[in-house]
Amino acid sequence: MTNHSQMPVHLFFVIGVAGALLSSSVLAAATLLLAITGIVISLRKSLYQAGWDKPKELRLLHFAFWFFVLVSFCSWAIEGFSYEGGKTFGTHARFILFWPLIIALSYARLGANTLFASAGLLAAAVFGLLGSAVIANQGSLDPLLNNRFGGGINPISFGNIALLGSFLTLTGGLFFYRSKRRSLALILIIMGAGTAAVAMLSQTRSNLVALPFFLLLLVPLLSRNLRIISMIVIPVLVVTAIATNDRMSGQIAGLLQNDSPDSAITIRMEVWELAWGMFAENPWTGVGLGGYAQEIEASVASGESSAALIDCCTGHAHNDLLNIAATSGIPGILSWAFLIFIPLTIFARHLFSTHTATAHLAVSGSLISVGYLLFGLTEATFNRTLFLTFYLVSVAGTAAALFNELGTSYVRQRTKTVSATIITKNEEDHIADCLKSARLVADEIIVLDSGSTDRTVEIAKQYADILEVTDWPGFGVQKQRALEKATGDWVLSLDADERITPELAREINHRLADPDADAYKLPWAVTLYGTRLDFGRSGRAPLRLFRREGVRFSSALVHEKILVPEGRKTKTLRGRLTHYTHRHFGHALEKSAKYAWLGSQEKFRKGKRTRTLIYPAFRGLLTFLQVYIIRFGFLDGSVGFLVAVTYAQGSFNKYAGLWTLSKRVKPKH
């Protein structure tokens, strides 16, 4: 990928974000151009040819955006494709552009520099709008201070996005400061603080709700001394913002004097009650995208609700959660939760990263998700085109930048010695690739074979430092034998059908330069029938890497556990451990049956019993739901379904086997 091919994508992104408040058309046009670019790149497969390893987190984000659109479409269909509902769906449908945006921004290697530069230009645009307003008022500030400033658009939209932009700019300033670019950092910090002050001129009350949370999200980026000081400064800033907000101070005064909220809050409470009633009457489907407006109009016409609702509230319920609950029911609530909390979870995981760019991008992504969560308390942000498009572009840009930066963050070389241990039996198809990948992180490779009759031992001799052939005492005991031969500071316990990917190897070597935990889990990337599975059973992260001292394996026949001494810290790495668990479907059936029977015997040995086949059937169903639904196995397509059914069958067989063993136990007389 050349700079020449990356430049237009960076330019489109910067123009879109920076011009969002100047004109919603600028943001919309930039989004469309980015999406078209992404579609072209996808058709040419340029990104995959460049070796892009598609992060599972981006697939999960893609699902969140698409699920929201799908639920919206179903709500529109259920009501009969009304014209009003069609306009709302047209707004929601923009979310289908998320994946083309990700493709374009990932291909262009969008990073922290570009993202924070665009935030800074957004702040500059806010100052430009303020300057234009001052000039229009012949240099007087009084009209701006005495009225709600909206920069020529809705004051709520302007105030919320300007405040969010100000904190993204502040985050960028802190990033450039830690990157030793002090002059640029100072400019962005001053601009960010100024933009926050301008945002407050909108007199938007949700800004006051969001302000303390935004300030708290900046705390992880501060030094220890500044964190202590911030605990004093944050309350002072919040109190000052409330005191200087005429609408909020007037409302507080009204509550103290009249014990009643102002008319705007009263109207919102009335429409919230109506929206809740719509949801309560139609919890599974809602009233439809266009049905909400019809219900409000009918309520006003009947005299049950005040006429003021016609002017302010026929489009939406001024609350994201209640609005989507009223229009789309429980599926809508779930889609809203995915849309907010999946990005928040992904970004928040990296808040305390030691990598400068990663930590600051994680804060930026968290600011966006938290901001929309809080803005949505008094506004239906996902029903407004500007709000929705800004969320789409900012989440896509921040996510792409985060994973682009993560890919280049593992630069240190390990200082700890590592022993890789592998147990084998008839693994000639796997053992060479397994040992080659282990050598990427291991100083010593130990292989214990249990009497292979193929070429496993012959192949392993070419790569292993220690190779022994033993009997077969069970998985736990055999892995303990291998562990006892290890001499490294750390141990990497692999199965023959697993591979350390180059990216995971870089991450392991980076972490072991200065370990921040005593053991690490390595997320699986199960590969079956030509498909890499990112979810379902592949969503697990088994413990594989640990500090050797004091650790041992359980003696279980199957599904052994690594027993780490109490009090030691365990973390999960991001890189993937490729797992070629089955060679073909016949092997899958054979392996599932073998493990199920060993599991039956292990449970029977421990005194477990089952008296009815209802329990095995229940466990099989529970396993399917866990693998396919709860762990998002359906995102892995047809192979994901096949895997879920296979694991469900294995779970049933294990407990059915236990039932047969239980039947053999003679009752005592």
pLDDT in tens, 321-344: 999 999 999 999 999 999 999 999
How does DSSP assign 56-79, residue by residue?
HHHHHHHHHHHHHHHHHHHHHHHT
Q: Are 507 and 573 in contact (CB under 8 A)?
A: yes
Mean pLDDT for 15-21 is: 97
Where along the chain do its domains lie?
A: 3-407, 418-579, 585-663
Which range among 136-140, 541-545, 566-570 shows the weakest confidence by mean pLDDT? 136-140
| 480 has pLDDT over 80 | yes
Residue 366's pLDDT is 98
- Beta partners for residue 570, in sequence order: 519
Closest CA to 278 of 327, 334, 335, 332: 327
Q: Is 520 left (phi over 0), alpha (psi -120 to 50) or beta?
A: beta
Q: Is the Cβ–Cβ distance between 610 and 658 less than 8 Å?
A: yes
Per DSSP, the chain holds a count of helices (H) and strands (E) of: 26, 13
Q: Which of 29, 175, 116 is nearest to 397 (CA)?
A: 116
Give φ, ψ of 641 to 5 degrees.
-65, -45
**CA–CA gap between residue 142 and residue 149 (Å, rounded):** 11
Say what the pTM is.
0.90
Three-state secondary structure call for residue 104: helix
Whether residue 12 is predicted with pLDDT greater than 60 in this model: the reply is yes
pLDDT digit string, tens, across residues 391-434: 999 999 999 999 999 988 898 999 999 999 999 999 999 999 99
Q: Are strands 466-469 and 519-521 parallel, antiparallel or unpaired?
A: unpaired
Give the least confident one: 423-437, 526-540, 545-559. Answer: 526-540
Report how far residue 398's alpha carbon sits from residue 361's, in angstroms, rounded to the nearest whole number: 6
Q: What confidence score (pLDDT) does residue 1 get?
A: 45
600 and 615 Cβ atoms separated by less than 8 Å = no
Q: Does residue 4 register a pLDDT over 80?
A: no
Separation of alpha carbons 203 and 553, rounded Å: 62
Q: Give the residue among 455, 487, 562 at the shortest CA–CA distance from 519.
A: 562
> Which residues contact residue 302 at a Cβ distance below 8 angstroms, ignoring those fewer than 6 apart?
none
Helix, strand, coil percent content, the chain, rounded in steps of 5: 65, 10, 30
Rounded Cα–Cα distance for residues 541 and 562 (Å): 13
Report the amino acid identity of residue 101: L
Model pLDDT, residue 583: 76
Rounded to whole angstroms, the Cα distance separating 205 from 258 reads 20
- Look over the chain and give the mean of its residue pLDDT values, rounded to a whole number: 92
Please check whether residue 346 is in contact with residue 304, taking contact to mean a CB–CB distance below 8 angstroms. Answer: no
**Backbone phi, psi, residue 161, to 5°:** -70, -35
Q: Please choose, from the candidates 597, 595, 592, 587, the residue with its C-alpha nearest in 3D space to the C-alpha of residue 656.
A: 597
**Tens digits of residue pLDDT in 77-115:** 988 999 989 999 999 999 999 999 999 999 999 999 999
- Domain covering 418-579 in this structure, CATH number: 3.90.550.10
Tens digit of each residue's pLDDT (9 = 90 or more) over 184-233: 999 999 999 999 999 999 989 899 999 999 999 999 999 989 999 999 99
The distance between the two most distant Cα atoms of the chain, rounded to a whole number of Å, is: 103
Contact (CB, 8 A) for 18 and 30: no
| φ and ψ of 449, to 5 deg | -105, 145
